[in-house]
Amino acid sequence: MSALEKPVRTMDEAFERLLDEDTHKENISDALRRNNPMPPGPTLVPVARYTDRRYHELEREKLWKKSWLMACHEDDFEHVGDCVPYDVAGLSFLIVRSEEDEYKAFYNACLHRGRKLREDRAKGLDELRCPFHGWAWNLDGSLKQIPCAYDYQGLNRDEESLPEVQVGRWGRFIFINADPDAESLEDFLGDLSSHFELLPYERRYKSAHVAKIIKANWKVVQEAFMESYHVLMTHPQILTGGAHDICTKYDAFGNYSRAIRCGALEGNGLPPWEPLPSEKGMEIVRHPLNGDVYEHLGDGVVLLTKKDGRTGKFDVDAKHIEGEITDANPHLCNWVGGLQLNNPGQGRILSSDTKRKAQAEAGGGKNMSARAMGAEMQRQMLADVVPSIADTIPDIELTASVFFTVFPNWHPWGCFNQINYRFRPNGDNHEECIMECMYLTPIPEDGEYEPVREIHWLTAEDDYTEASELGQLTKIFNQDLRNLPYVYDGLKATAREHVRLADYNELKLRHWHEMYEKQVGDS
Ligand code: FES
Ligand SMILES: [Fe+2]
């Protein structure tokens, strides 16, 4: 048997055991039980695919003009006449709510001399009027008015409607596709809906939307949010929840892939450590594998204490200041010593008071596993929001992180996690990208909610914690940002022509590149 024929180690059996222990296993969906790991290899991706502008040009023609793209969400449009531009790789589209339940998407360019029709979102328009010379179209794209029309001899008004691109809708998201011959969105997504039966996206609203510029090619950044392998080094503080690499199950289906990070697997081999003083809150943390303690002493100085008592002091970027220990994990220095959230409770569905109450009730005298207890707490919290289903939800749906990648750039999360990501080049610059994080929160069954309709923009220099509406996730993002521009710099500096992907832990990336190669080609 050659190396390439060796079976890939998967999480399938461990995951089955986990499902068998579920306190609500009769309600586990078929979709969660579906296995589809990829066979091993090919694992090499050309470095030029990230760094060479030639690929950016190819992507514009073969990817961005030819794919179903999640462009916006119904919550972006309060009224008929609201419109949202969607820009990607130098292309621009304008999505318009043309009637109560009808959306149109146009090339965002005037038919006179080409000015973009709208560069920003707009509300309640009754026409699309070009700001240059004033040509105007109705919301359905038909020509409304040409100032000094006498000057366009022979112009046929019927041929001057705004060119449209295809629109598709799924789960209150609005997708566009500039390829008139593309398969329908329904066919493209296939059985994606089967993974969201318990809480379909139709029953979620947009409660946060943050966009950040990052100085790296968009694929570099996207790929950092498609695997759990980097958690070991980059986010070790969350390993206490069991988010170890071996605790993530990966599968690929049709045009999308899935990771299930199980979290809180018992007996995952982590040593039991004494608790740290709680009064320091987020400013002290222990590396759960090696026992190193990182403590913020104030003014951005971080004290690292080894298990044997040796110490070193560092700044938040892990630059050594003094002491016998001279090397530190930059992600943990940033975690304890970097900017902290003003209000870390924001971004959660429910208050910490509710959580404490639920915790007390869940633990009340019962002999429950940590996973079952965590799930029960969540059930009790959700009983305030979605009472009709809260009691039926299996443990796995409440304790795992399930993150999908729908080709090419949309990442909806499953179960009761609110996260949705979207990644794309920053305009026509292939060396920068826009990372967007949206929260899609369960619509309360009493029907009262106020969606977010604007994007909170952060520059490349802004600290993620400025987006306090995302809560503690921003501290995790700051750790990712300590890698991403440097990944891109490294790719430009490397002596190698390829990067290497793991067969299983980077299965989602392999699946994505397989689709990319089919659609974009390799040269
Ligand atoms: S470019 Fe739009 S009206 Fe002239
Ligand atoms: Fe990360």
**How many Å lie between the centroid of ligand 1 and the Cα of residue 116?**
9
Which CA distances in Å does 131 have to 117, 125, 140, 301? 7, 13, 19, 52
pLDDT for 349 beyond 50: no
Residues with CB under 6 A from ligand 1: 110, 112-115, 130, 132-135
Residue 73 Cα to ligand 1 midpoint, Å, equals 29
Average pLDDT of the residues of the chain: 91
**Among protein residues, the one whose CA lies closest to atom 4 of ligand 1:** 133
| 288 or 79: which leads in pLDDT | 79
pLDDT at 361 exceeding the cut of 90? no
Q: What is the pLDDT of residues 174-207, one digit of tens each?
A: 999 999 999 999 999 999 999 999 999 999 999 9
Ligand 1 centroid–CA 120 distance in Å is 17
Check the CA dihedral 231-238-34-206 and report its sign: negative
Report the nearest atom of ligand 1 relative to the CA of 147. Answer: 3
What pLDDT is attached to residue 422? 98
* Max Cα distance, the chain (Å): 87
The residue to mutate among 130, 152, 155, having the most atoms of ligand 1 within 8 angstroms of its beta carbon, is 130
Within-domain flag for 192:
no
Domains contained in the chain, number: 3
Average pLDDT over residues 267-288: 80
Query: Mean pLDDT, to the nearest integer, of 36-41?
Result: 88
pTM of the model: 0.93
Q: In this model, does residue 264 exceed pLDDT 80?
A: no
Which tens digits make up the pLDDT trace of 44-73? 999 999 999 999 999 999 999 999 999 999
Q: pLDDT band for position 272 (50/70/90)?
A: confident
pLDDT higher than 90, residue 344? no
Q: What is the pLDDT of residue 372?
A: 87
Kindly give the number of the ligand 1 atom that is closest to the alpha carbon of 133: 3
Give me the DSSP letters along 7-24.
PPP-SHHHHHHHHHT-TT
Reply yes or no on whether the pLDDT at 290 is more than 50.
Answer: yes
What's the 79 CA to ligand 1 centre distance in angstroms? Answer: 26
Per the structure block, which two tokens stand in for 373? 């207890």
Q: Are residues 119 and 219 in the same domain?
A: no
Are 39 and 112 within one domain?
A: no
Atom of ligand 1 at shortest range from CA of 130: 2
Give the mutation target among 94, 106, 111, 135 for probing the ligand 1 site: most ligand atoms within 8 A of CB: 135
Question: How far, in Å, from the CA of 133 to the mean position of ligand 2?
Answer: 48
Which of 103, 110, 118, 202 is CA-nearest to residue 147? Answer: 110
Q: What b/e sequence results for 86-110 when a residue is b if at least 16 CB atoms lie within 10 Å of its CB, and e otherwise?
A: bbbbebbbbbbbbeeeebbbbbbbb
- Give the pLDDT band (50/70/90) at residue 369: confident
Average pLDDT over residues 282-311: 94
Band of residue 374 on the pLDDT scale cut at 50, 70, 90: confident
Which distant-in-sequence residues (6+ apart) come within 8 Å of 520 by Cβ?
55, 58, 59, 62, 63
Ligand closest in space to the Cα of 464 = 2
Q: Which CATH number characterizes residue 413's domain?
A: 3.90.380
Please report which ligand is nearest the Cα atom of 152.
1
> Model confidence at 338, in pLDDT bands (50, 70, 90)?
very high
* Alpha carbon of 153 to ligand 1 centroid (Å): 17
- Closest-CA residue, ligand 1 atom 1, reads 113
Residues 116 and 177 in one domain: yes
In a domain, 319, yes or no: no
Ligand 1 pocket: which of 92, 133, 160 to mutate (most atoms <8 Å of CB)? 133
When pLDDT is cut at 50, 70 and 90, the band that residue 348 belongs to is very low
In a domain, 301, yes or no: no
- Same-domain pairing of 10 and 94: no
Atom of ligand 1 nearest to the CA of 114: 1
- Specify whether 406 is located in the same domain as 515: yes
Q: Are residues 508 and 406 both part of a single domain?
A: yes
The DSSP-derived string for 106-136 is EESS-TTT---S-SS-B-S-SSEE-TTT--E
Lowest mean pLDDT across 239-248, 390-399, 406-415? 239-248
Distance 68 CA to ligand 1 centre (A): 29
- Supply the pLDDT for residue 343: 57
Protein residue with its CA nearest to atom 3 in ligand 1: 133
Q: Which of 36-45, 122-131, 273-282 has the highest mean pLDDT?
A: 122-131
- Same domain as 505, residue 408: yes
Q: Which of 35-39, 94-98, 326-330, 489-493 has the lowest mean pLDDT?
A: 35-39
Same domain? 44 vs 76: no
**Ligand 1 centre from 429 Cα, in Å?**
26
Confidence grade of residue 352 (pLDDT, cut at 50, 70, 90): very low
How are beta strands 91-99 and 102-107 bridged, if at all? antiparallel
Residue 171 backbone dihedrals phi, psi, to 5 degrees: 55, 35
Does residue 288 fall inside a structural domain?
Answer: no
Q: CATH number of the domain that 170 lies in?
A: 2.102.10.10
Domain of residue 366 covers: 352-384
